């Protein structure tokens, strides 16, 4: 009789343990896709308000050596015409939301470059641009150098060109910001820049997206400097 009672208690405890394990797995297993995905900077902002951009921005690689950009005289169409073409291919495209996303992407990309965060950069950059950024990060790390960059103000983010290239929407934005840029060596000594000087920096970024793709993200395909 005693052995039978012990056996029954073991069976009951085993059933309770199995139930608890099942409940634990059901709770831990519930993860939405948003928890595994990085935020999309080009998604429309929440209706209840906007998110202010952080104040840290870095100097991008090869800005001084990048090719200069000038409008193509063989393309007399206007920016408005290009935006209409893009909207025709992708009715979800909205210029206001795109610019908000581009400003957020600017901050995210330059911030990730400053931190050497290639995991964040990878899904936002086209292959060639990513390779350039990653090489600059590796070179900086090998030299033991550290960037200290502070954005005083992001003054402008203007669409200066827009077009539809086949299925690909291409939008060019000119960013104008006021920044303080300093590079320090491994000993902490300033080797480039001036911590007390503010510079106005102009960057031209080209974003592209396949309008037939399900992925709503735009990718940075090129960086340039104006004349």
d(C-alpha 227, C-alpha 224), whole Å: 10
For 199-223, the pLDDT digits (tens) are 998 999 999 999 998 888 899 999 9
Q: Which residue has the tokens 């992001």?
A: 154
For 101-146, the pLDDT digits (tens) are 999 998 889 888 888 899 999 999 999 999 999 999 999 999 999 8
Residue 193 has pLDDT above 70, yes or no: yes
For 162-181, the pLDDT digits (tens) are 999 999 999 999 999 888 88
**Which residues contact residue 107 at a Cβ distance below 8 angstroms, ignoring those fewer than 6 apart?**
53, 54, 56, 57, 154
Confidence at residue 28, expressed as pLDDT on a 0 to 100 scale:
29
pTM: 0.68
Q: Report the CATH number of the 33-226 domain.
A: 3.10.450.240
Query: Three-state SS for 199?
Result: strand
> Do the strands 219-226 and 68-69 form a parallel or antiparallel pair, or are they unpaired?
parallel
Span 42-65, average pLDDT? 43
Residue 55 has pLDDT above 50, yes or no: no
**Number of Cβ within a 10 Å radius of residue 30:** 8
Domains in the chain: boundaries: 33-226
């Amino acid at each position: 009789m005693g052995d039978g009672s012990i056996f029954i208690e073991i069976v009951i405890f085993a059933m309770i343990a199995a139930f608890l394990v099942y409940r634990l797995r059901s709770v831990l297993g519930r993860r939405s896709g948003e928890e595994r995905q990085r935020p999309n900077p080009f998604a429309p902002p929440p209706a209840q308000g906007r998110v202010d951009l952080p104040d840290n921005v870095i100097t991008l690689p090869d800005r001084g050596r990048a090719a200069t950009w000038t409008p193509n005289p063989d393309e007399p169409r206007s920016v408005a015409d290009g935006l209409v073409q893009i909207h025709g291919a992708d009715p979800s495209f909205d210029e206001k939301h795109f610019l908000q996303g581009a400003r957020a992407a600017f901050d995210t990309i330059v911030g990730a470059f400053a931190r050497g965060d290639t995991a964040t950069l990878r899904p936002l950059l086209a292959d060639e641009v990513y390779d350039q950024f990653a090489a600059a990060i590796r070179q900086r790390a090998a030299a033991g150098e550290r960037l200290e960059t502070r954005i005083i103000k992001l003054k402008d983010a203007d669409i200066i060109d827009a077009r539809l290239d086949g299925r690909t929407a291409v939008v060019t934005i000119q960013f104008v910001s006021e920044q303080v840029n300093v590079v320090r060596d491994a000993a902490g000594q300033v080797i480039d820049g001036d911590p007390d000087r503010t510079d106005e920096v102009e960057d031209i970024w080209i974003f592209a997206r396949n309008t037939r793709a399900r992925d709503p993200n735009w990718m940075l395909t090129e960086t340039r400097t104006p004349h």
